[in-house]
């Protein structure tokens, strides 16, 4: 699905100079292999598989088997300092985070829409435990939007006169989302309950059992065919192989959640808050750490 492959060595304590490089090459370069997983497309029907039939994206292991990388495709090489500074000093990392948080917000809006329509379809909106569950999604959505807005409001010119969003709110959002997305998926499963399991197919509505389906699967405000279409969307979003892959994808999108938390802790400006406590207590000891 891509024309180019971007390869960047990540900064780490054990990074060797011959591992410190960044380059990009065409996806059809000789010796470049993509080892793909099994497809999660359940079928061609957009009724039965409303998401996977249209939006499945492949995951793969990229293998470099004696691949020649031309020098005009190399950003840096044999340069540990550049590898250490690239993600933090360049705009690449910041704008990558900014784009991802925007995507996560849109995805949360989609989840909220599905959850609310489920509630309306089965007429359970007056139950407080349902309202509490939907409020969880609303709180998560508005928190993500607020963090995105703060990153933009606190944007500053960098040393190359490029207006760059504030990184800290984006890092906070990227620490939050891997934790809340699995919960939002679970909420949809809980609202749908057994209706998420007993769902007929499009073919069933064009068979001799259609009358039974129309009789027993309709709701007060939705006919049986539309109700099943909605429940198949909720299933494909949260319970199919496509849906469970989405949950795992969001858990580890930027890598290990513990490492993300550690990075936020290291980058967060804590000194000012500590100094306030030192002044409040009138402490005399000198501090050297942040």
pLDDT bracket for residue 287 (50, 70, 90): low
pLDDT bracket for residue 90 (50, 70, 90): confident
Domains and CATH numbers, the chain: 90-281 (1.20.140.10)
* Integer Cα distance of 19 and 70 in angstroms: 17
* 3-state SS, residue 58: coil
The pLDDT tens digits for 32-43 are 999 999 999 999
pLDDT of 284 reads: 83
* Integer Cα distance of 9 and 243 in angstroms: 30
pLDDT of 14 reads: 54
The pLDDT tens digits for 98-127 are 999 999 999 999 999 999 999 999 999 999
The yes-or-no verdict on residue 285 having pLDDT over 80 is: no
Q: What is the dihedral of CA 172, 177, 179, 183, to 10 degrees?
A: 150
Structure tokens at 150: 């703060």
Mean pLDDT, residues 231-235 taken together: 98
pLDDT of 221 reads: 84
Backbone φ, ψ for residue 200 (5° rounding): -65, 180
The pLDDT tens digits for 252-284 are 998 889 988 998 998 899 999 999 999 999 998
């Amino acid at each position: 699905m891509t024309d180019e492959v971007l390869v960047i060595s990540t900064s780490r304590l054990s990074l060797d100079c011959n591992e410190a490089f960044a380059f990009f090459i065409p996806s059809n370069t000789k010796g470049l292999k993509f080892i793909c997983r099994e497809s999660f497309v359940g079928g061609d029907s957009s009724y039965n598989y409303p998401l996977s039939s249209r939006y499945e994206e492949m995951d793969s292991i990229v293998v470099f088997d004696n691949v020649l990388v031309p020098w005009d495709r190399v950003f840096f090489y044999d340069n540990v300092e550049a590898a250490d500074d690239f993600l933090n000093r360049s705009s690449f990392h910041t704008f990558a985070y900014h784009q991802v948080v925007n995507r996560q917000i849109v995805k949360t809006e989609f989840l909220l829409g599905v959850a609310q329509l489920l509630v309306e379809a089965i007429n359970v909106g007056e139950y407080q435990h349902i309202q509490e569950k939907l409020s969880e999604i609303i709180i998560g959505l508005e928190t993500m939007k607020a963090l995105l807005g703060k990153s933009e409001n606190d944007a500053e010119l960098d040393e190359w006169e490029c207006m760059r969003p504030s990184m800290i709110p984006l890092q906070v959002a990227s620490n939050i989302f891997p934790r809340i997305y699995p919960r939002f998926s679970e909420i949809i499963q809980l609202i749908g309950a057994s209706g998420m399991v007993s769902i007929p197919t499009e073919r069933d509505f064009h068979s001799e059992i259609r009358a039974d389906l129309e009789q027993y699967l309709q709701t007060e405000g939705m006919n049986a065919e539309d109700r099943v279409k909605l429940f198949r969307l909720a299933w494909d979003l949260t319970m199919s192989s496509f849906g469970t892959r989405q949950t795992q994808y969001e858990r580890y999108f930027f890598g290990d959640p513990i490492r993300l938390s550690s990075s936020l802790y290291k980058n967060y400006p804590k000194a000012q808050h500590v100094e306030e406590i030192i002044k409040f207590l009138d402490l005399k000891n000198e501090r050297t750490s942040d």
